[in-house]
Amino acid sequence: MMIHPDTESPLISVIMPAYNAGAYINEAINSILRQTCTNFEFLIIDDGSPDNTAEEIKKFDDSRIVFIQNRKNKGLIITLNDAMQRTRGKYIARMDADDTCSPDRLEKQMEYMEKHPEISILGANMVYMTEKHVTNFPEKCNELKIQLMEGNKISHPTVMIRRDDIFAKNLKYNENYPSAEDYKMWTDAISMGFNIENLPDVLYQYRTHPAQTTALKLDEQNATVKKIRMEYCKKFTKNKNSLNDNEIDMISRRFEYIDPPKPIFDLVYKVRKINSINKFFDMDTYNKYLKDTLYTYLAKKDVPDILKEKNYDLEFKLWILKVYIDKWIKNTVS
């Protein structure tokens, strides 16, 4: 079943899948209908919910709403891909049925993408409703590209997508990556050459509750995320298996502190070498990222050991020394 308004093509198509969302969907719908940017269509898809989700959606009388009702549950990935094909807007915005977004969310994202035509996918920061915790996602594409090796750094329901860009390269959600289909889509997008950014603004309010998909499928999500990280690291190494599982795990945890730190320095030496050859990441941005992660380890006693290491070349030793001096100056000044 689909109810479609007879209107001209909108600027933005908002997609909101819903499954058993009757308890929260009113708030989610209202937060979109109250947007300061009004030129949008709002595709709400009830994915075969056995609860009162459909009844709650039907309470709204707004010509911008496109109500789609799946006779049976198709699952999130199929539902999203189907909905993408129905969109008519220049931009596609995602929304979850148990969250809310700020009134100026669509306006801010749309205006930014209008000013930056090179950006294909744009996320934003969000606040967790209960915990009041605010995310701090990397903003620029060069930073984001690096940190995707750690895990997903783009909040799925906050994104706005340039429709023609992804349709031109047939970028869509992959059914083989359940519970982390968004993370897979972002790493695919980066590999295809798309530019992705996050706005620093907090434009989304994320609700956590026991019945949400993320909570119910945590084990599946963790396994899928690990698979995606492995595949992304192989793209970084140009499909050469030069990073083992333990090294990828250390990268995903941002070189988390270990004592003694020699394996960390060995890994940093290795990934810098890989990137100097493959140039997967912008070198200056990657050096800054690695430098920031090494600050924890550069205690005075460690530096002489690094400089004596025979397996490191002179360029790496000088770089470590420079990092250490920069750290010392920064600590002295502060």
Per-residue confidence of the chain (334 residues) as pLDDT tens digits?
A: 344 444 578 999 999 999 999 999 999 999 999 999 999 999 999 999 999 999 999 999 999 999 999 999 999 999 999 999 999 999 999 999 999 999 999 999 999 999 999 999 999 999 999 888 999 999 999 999 999 999 999 999 999 999 999 999 999 999 999 999 999 999 999 999 999 999 999 999 999 977 666 666 889 999 999 999 999 999 999 877 689 889 999 999 998 888 788 899 999 999 999 999 999 999 999 999 999 888 878 766 678 888 889 999 999 999 999 998 888 887 787 6
Both structure tokens of 215: 């909570």
CB of 89 closer than 8 Å to CB of 11:
yes
Domains of the chain, first to last: 2-211 (3.90.550.10), 237-333 (no CATH)
Report which DSSP code applies to 257.
-
Q: 9: exposed, middle or buried (C-beta count within 10 Å: 0-12, 13-18, 19+)?
A: exposed
Residues 6+ apart with CB under 8 A from 100: 27, 28, 30, 31, 204, 205, 207
How many angstroms separate the CA atoms of 96 and 128, rounded? Answer: 13
What is the model's pLDDT at position 301? Answer: 66
What is the model's pLDDT at position 330? Answer: 79
Of 30, 46, 36, give the one whose Cα is nearest residue 11: 36
